[in-house]
Amino acid sequence: MTQAARGAHRLPVPEPALYSCQCGPWWCGSVSNYTMAAGRWKQARLMLWKNWLFSVRSWKTTLLQLLAPLLFLLLVTGLSYLPQGLENVLNPPVTPLGTLPRCKAWNGKPCISLIAFGFDLDASVDFFNVTELDKSNKDCVTNIMTNFSRATGLSMNTNSMNTTADIHLVLSKSELKEIFRVHITTQTVSNYFTQHPNQTQAAVMFFECSVDHQNKSASKLNYTILYNSTRALAFEQIVLGSPNKPDGRKEIAVLIDSLFLSLVMGSTVTLNVSAASFPLYYQRESVATKQAETATTFLFCAITFQFVMMLYNVVSEKDLKLRQGLKLIGLKDSVYWMTWAVTGLVIAFFLYLNPHDYWLCVSAAVLPQH
């Protein structure tokens, strides 16, 4: 038999596959870990080269990814120059303090405009261990609240809480117990207002009210105002400066003081009080400051854009059956996704090479210094 004939009958020796071991199990089982790692490394190098060729041939898409930080930075800078809608108020309006308005409950239900209590409360022993005022003090409180009702145009009731009157005056223990329906303790009033919200907008507690016409300086007035301090009301007053829903403290105090002075002096005393805020100056922020404020929104837009483009490339390879073909010749999934992760990190590195301080503020440990 000739040499050519002998070669024709010789079995073909399988060559090692490009991406993985394709030979029979009679020798694949003895492949060392070093050989397997070398095969994975060869796959990774070829896949990275494939990604490089893909980036070069799709240079328009790659250029758009690299310019994404600059484009978003220009967008942020443009937004920074937009007007803020805030102007300096050099001469704030002067608002005279009016009278206590009629109560309008937030839930639309009827509410009491003002509740007045006339008791001598000994706070050192028991805040609600009430002692009724003597007749002269009761008469003083009654006169003040009667004139208060006339000045505000609010009706007043002194008999029962179960009426539609705007002002309720409570001067005896029996009336107080009728309101709270329980024995008066330290937490009674607090619990009552907690369990019955939106039923009154303000209350005033008279501790002492005495008028001395002979020695006017000996006249005494001591009272405490309870007011609504909910966050919604405070926000509207402080932030919006709205006088539509006053808490009533200033109006009640000014009117009670003027009515008490009228009783002491024996003639009508009018207190005209107005209020105005300080001039309001809204600082115009620099462009860099505005960029820093919007960084949380736009700083990682470029990376997000690059991630979306990478997903687009992966889906395109799947549609073109490229990944399926590579797996048929032995490509490992771990190598495939690892190489795409490395490609994404490389592109992200070039994204952050933008020498603008706006991007360098992210982290000094990650970003290059210039």
Say whether both 305 and 198 belong to one domain.
no
In a domain, 3, yes or no: no
Residue numbers of the chain with a pLDDT score lower than 50: 1-31, 121-128, 182-183, 186, 239-244, 355-360, 362-370
Q: What is the DSSP letter of 217?
A: G
Q: End-to-end distance of the chain based on CA atoms, in angstroms?
A: 77
Cα–Cα distance, 268 to 253 (Å, whole number) = 17
**Beta bridge pairs of residue 274:** 96
In a domain, 13, yes or no: no
The two structure tokens encoding residue 224: 């405490």
Please check whether residues 270 and 311 belong to one and the same domain. no
Q: What angle do CA 103, 106, 109 make, to 5 degrees?
A: 70
| Boundary (domain end) residue, out of 229, 250, 275 | 275
The whole-angstrom separation of Cα 219 and Cα 264 is 7
- 2 falls within a domain: no
Q: Are 314 and 339 contained in the same domain?
A: yes
Does one domain contain both 324 and 181?
A: no
In the prediction, which pLDDT does 259 show?
93
Residue 24, helix vs strand vs coil: coil
Asked whether the beta carbons of 209 and 141 are under 8 A apart, the reply is: yes
Question: Does 115 share its domain with 198?
Answer: yes
Residue 17 lies in a domain: no
Q: What is the pLDDT of residue 257?
A: 93
Query: Would the CA dihedral through 244, 155, 106, 200 be positive or negative?
Result: positive
Same domain, 68 and 111: no
Residue 74 domain-assigned (yes or no): yes
Vertex 279 angle, CA 278 and 284, to 5°: 135
DSSP lists the bridge partners of residue 157 as 168
Q: Which of 248, 275, 302 is the last residue of a domain?
A: 275
Which long-range contacts does 180-187 make (Cβ < 8 Å, 24+ apart)? 184/128, 184/129, 184/130, 185/126, 185/128, 186/126, 186/127, 186/128
Q: For the chain, how many structural domains are there in total?
A: 2
Residues 74 and 117 in one domain: no
Structure tokens at 261: 């002075």
- pLDDT recorded at residue 24: 47
Q: Is 121 among the domain residues?
A: yes
Q: What pLDDT was estimated at residue 153?
A: 86
In a domain, 369, yes or no: yes
The DSSP bridge pattern shows strands 114-121 and 95-96 to be unpaired
- β-pair type (130-132, 202-210): unpaired
pTM of the model: 0.49
Q: What is the pLDDT of residue 363?
A: 46
Residues 317 and 349 in one domain: yes
Report the alpha-carbon distance of residue 16 to residue 44 in Å, rounded.
17
Is the domain of 263 the same as that of 165? yes
What letter represents residue 237's amino acid? Q
Domain's final residue, options 251, 275, 299: 275
Per-residue confidence (pLDDT) for residue 191, from 0 to 100: 66
**CA neighbours closer than 13 Å in the CB half-sphere of residue 329:** 12
Q: What is the pLDDT of residues 137-187, one digit of tens each?
A: 888 988 999 999 888 888 887 655 555 678 888 777 666 655 555 445 545
Residue 297 included in any domain:
yes
Both 79 and 197 in one domain: the answer is no
Please indicate, yes or no, whether residues 294 and 150 belong to a single structural domain of this protein: no
Q: Which domain holds residue 109?
A: 95-275
Torsion angle of the four alpha carbons 362, 364, 367, 370, in this order, in degrees rounded to the nearest 10:
110
Identify whether residues 59 and 104 lie together within a single domain.
Answer: no
